[in-house]
Amino acid sequence: MKTKLKMLGARGAALAALGVASAAHAQAAAAAGPDFSTLTSGIDFSTVTTGILAVAATLITVYVAIKGAKILMSMVRGG
Protein backbone atom coordinates (compact mmCIF):
# COMPACT_ATOMS: atom_id res chain seq x y z
CA MET A 1 0.00 0.00 0.00
CA LYS A 2 2.85 2.38 0.81
CA THR A 3 4.43 1.82 -2.59
CA LYS A 4 1.19 2.64 -4.37
CA LEU A 5 0.81 5.78 -2.27
CA LYS A 6 4.38 6.84 -3.10
CA MET A 7 3.75 6.21 -6.82
CA LEU A 8 0.55 8.25 -6.62
CA GLY A 9 2.43 11.06 -4.87
CA ALA A 10 5.17 11.01 -7.50
CA ARG A 11 2.60 11.14 -10.30
CA GLY A 12 0.80 13.99 -8.56
CA ALA A 13 4.05 15.93 -8.28
CA ALA A 14 4.78 15.32 -11.96
CA LEU A 15 1.30 16.49 -12.93
CA ALA A 16 1.65 19.58 -10.75
CA ALA A 17 4.99 20.42 -12.38
CA LEU A 18 3.43 19.94 -15.81
CA GLY A 19 0.55 22.21 -14.84
CA VAL A 20 2.92 24.96 -13.68
CA ALA A 21 4.97 24.69 -16.87
CA SER A 22 1.89 24.86 -19.09
CA ALA A 23 0.51 27.82 -17.12
CA ALA A 24 3.80 29.67 -17.54
CA HIS A 25 3.75 28.95 -21.28
CA ALA A 26 0.14 30.12 -21.58
CA GLN A 27 0.95 33.32 -19.69
CA ALA A 28 3.90 34.06 -21.99
CA ALA A 29 1.73 33.46 -25.06
CA ALA A 30 -1.01 35.72 -23.69
CA ALA A 31 1.47 38.48 -22.90
CA ALA A 32 2.70 38.55 -26.49
CA GLY A 33 -0.83 38.76 -27.92
CA PRO A 34 -2.09 37.30 -31.14
CA ASP A 35 -0.45 38.29 -34.43
CA PHE A 36 -3.03 39.28 -37.05
CA SER A 37 -0.57 40.84 -39.49
CA THR A 38 -1.05 38.05 -42.03
CA LEU A 39 -4.80 38.69 -42.05
CA THR A 40 -4.71 42.48 -42.11
CA SER A 41 -1.84 42.99 -44.55
CA GLY A 42 -4.02 42.13 -47.56
CA ILE A 43 -6.75 44.68 -46.72
CA ASP A 44 -6.63 48.12 -48.31
CA PHE A 45 -9.01 50.77 -46.98
CA SER A 46 -7.76 53.64 -49.15
CA THR A 47 -10.75 53.53 -51.50
CA VAL A 48 -13.20 53.38 -48.61
CA THR A 49 -11.48 56.31 -46.93
CA THR A 50 -11.62 58.33 -50.15
CA GLY A 51 -15.33 57.63 -50.49
CA ILE A 52 -16.08 58.64 -46.91
CA LEU A 53 -14.09 61.85 -47.27
CA ALA A 54 -15.91 62.67 -50.52
CA VAL A 55 -19.29 62.27 -48.83
CA ALA A 56 -18.14 64.37 -45.88
CA ALA A 57 -16.91 67.13 -48.22
CA THR A 58 -20.27 67.12 -50.01
CA LEU A 59 -22.15 67.43 -46.73
CA ILE A 60 -19.88 70.23 -45.55
CA THR A 61 -20.51 72.09 -48.80
CA VAL A 62 -24.28 71.75 -48.34
CA TYR A 63 -24.10 72.95 -44.72
CA VAL A 64 -21.93 75.94 -45.64
CA ALA A 65 -24.36 76.85 -48.43
CA ILE A 66 -27.33 76.64 -46.03
CA LYS A 67 -25.54 78.76 -43.43
CA GLY A 68 -24.62 81.33 -46.10
CA ALA A 69 -28.22 81.48 -47.30
CA LYS A 70 -29.42 82.04 -43.73
CA ILE A 71 -26.92 84.86 -43.25
CA LEU A 72 -28.01 86.51 -46.52
CA MET A 73 -31.69 86.15 -45.65
CA SER A 74 -31.11 87.76 -42.25
CA MET A 75 -29.28 90.67 -43.97
CA VAL A 76 -32.14 91.14 -46.44
CA ARG A 77 -34.77 91.06 -43.68
CA GLY A 78 -32.76 93.56 -41.68
CA GLY A 79 -32.46 91.48 -38.55
pLDDT in tens, 40-53: 888 888 889 999 99
Give CA–CA dist 62/74, Å, rounded. 18
Q: How far is CA 17 from the centre of its chain?
A: 35
pLDDT at 8 over 80: no
pLDDT in tens, 27-41: 665 667 778 888 888
Which residue, among 9, 8, 28, has the nearest Cα to 20 in the 3D structure?
28
Q: What is the pTM of this model?
A: 0.44
